[in-house]
């Protein structure tokens, strides 16, 4: 847990910079509307490469159980060597660093974030979907054998899952989803897994994977379009909140898996999703705000 906390803080410090720089480049060139297409393409190809890697790992595993791990380590080493060859332009800012001024600036940033109701709702949506989707992806590897699917077919099945997600990412620019619809559909799907047999479970997981690929380009584009100032800092807060959510909820999901089993844990996740939907609807009614996607 200590490692997760420190890792989350470290990631939050730097993670907002790259995304903010990319979005600002689109903004400077008056191509803000192309940002979602950019994210869709990145996610689509990342998922397709992931699908290929899954299939390759499955084939290598049949030859030798150590081959997938050995290949993964080799690729990691090559990647580290390649990245170490990259040259970064260092920029130095004149002036002195004053911790009190920096602290006041961060307080102002937090106040601005709290007052931006649309961003808060988008962050909440991101937070809920990240927890639900990540845990569904992890546990589905154990869920499929539990419903009678032979482990020999898992590589092919997850290859198909990732291809489906890539098409969800591809189509994300053509769809404008409302947060309420996403939460409602996901809640129903998760509860449905509690009662489904092999074939219906596979259909539900395929639908969820399609939504998985679609939702991240949409949410990230909407979040950036609603940030007016201090983009890198606000995006870093998002990363920090996500890391904290994993620290808090992953152990809860683990306890639920041990106590209730996979199926009932999915039902619990579905209930949490529907409760989140109620919270979103209450916030809209109370604040009179527009939908998260506007």
Lowest mean pLDDT among 16-20, 75-79, 218-222, 255-259: 16-20
Predicted structure pTM score? 0.81
Residue 122 lies in a domain: no
Any domain includes 246: yes
Q: Is residue 210 part of a domain?
A: yes
pLDDT digits (tens, 9 = 90+) for 190-209: 999 988 889 999 999 999 99
Direct distance between the N- and C-terminal alpha carbons of the chain, in angstroms, rounded to an integer: 37
Query: What does the alpha-carbon distance between residue 275 and residue 269 come to, in Å, rounded to a whole number?
Result: 10
Which residue range forms the structural domain that includes residue 254? 2-34+128-151+175-287
Confidence of residue 61 (pLDDT cuts 50, 70, 90): confident
Residue 54 in domain: no
Question: Per residue in 263-294, pLDDT tens?
Answer: 999 999 999 888 888 877 776 665 554 444 44
- Mean pLDDT for the chain overall: 81
| Within-domain flag for 136 | yes
Res 283: pLDDT: 67
pLDDT tens track for 84-105: 887 665 555 555 666 777 677 7
Q: Give the pLDDT score at 22.
A: 87
Q: What was the pLDDT predicted at 14?
A: 56
198: in domain: yes
39 in a structural domain: no
Per-residue confidence (pLDDT) for residue 290, from 0 to 100: 45
The predicted structure's pLDDT at residue 97: 60
- Work out the pLDDT band at 44, boundaries 50, 70, 90: very high
> Is 80 inside any structural domain?
no
Q: Which tokens go with 132?
A: 């639900």
Does the pLDDT value for residue 160 go beyond 90? yes
**Can you tell me the distance from the alpha carbon of 111 to that of 229, in angstroms, rounded to the nearest whole number?**
12
* Distance between CA atoms of residues 51 and 158, nearest Å: 7
DSSP type of residue 30? T
The number of folded domains in the chain is 1
């Amino acid at each position: 847990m200590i490692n997760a906390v420190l890792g989350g803080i470290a990631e939050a410090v730097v993670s907002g910079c790259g995304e903010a720089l990319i979005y600002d480049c689109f903004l400077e060139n008056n191509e803000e509307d192309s940002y979602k297409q950019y994210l869709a393409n990145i996610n689509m190809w990342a998922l397709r490469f992931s699908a290929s890697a899954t299939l390759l790992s499955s084939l290598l595993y049949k030859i030798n159980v150590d081959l997938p791990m050995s290949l993964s380590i080799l690729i990691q080493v090559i990647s580290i060597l390649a990245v170490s060859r990259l040259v970064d332009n260092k920029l130095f800012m004149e002036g002195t660093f004053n911790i009190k001024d920096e602290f006041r600036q961060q307080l102002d940033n937090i106040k601005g974030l709290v007052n931006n109701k649309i961003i808060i709702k988008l962050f909440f949506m991101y937070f809920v979907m990240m927890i639900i989707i990540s845990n569904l992806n992890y546990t589905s590897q154990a869920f499929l054998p539990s419903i009678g699917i032979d482990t020999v077919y898992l590589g092919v099945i997850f290859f198909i899952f990732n291809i489906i997600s890539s098409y969800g990412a591809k189509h994300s620019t053509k769809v404008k989803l409302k947060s309420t619809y996403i939460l409602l559909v996901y809640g129903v799907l998760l509860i449905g897994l509690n009662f489904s047999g092999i074939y219906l479970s596979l259909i539900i997981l395929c639908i969820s994977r399609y939504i998985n690929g679609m939702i991240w380009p949409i949410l990230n584009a909407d979040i950036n379009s609603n940030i007016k100032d201090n983009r890198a800092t606000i995006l870093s807060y998002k990363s920090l909140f996500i890391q904290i959510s994993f620290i808090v909820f992953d152990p809860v999901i683990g306890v639920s898996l041990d106590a209730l089993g996979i199926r009932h844990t999915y039902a619990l996740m579905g209930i949490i999703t529907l409760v989140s939907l109620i919270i979103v609807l209450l916030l809209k009614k109370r604040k009179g705000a527009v939908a998260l996607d506007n």
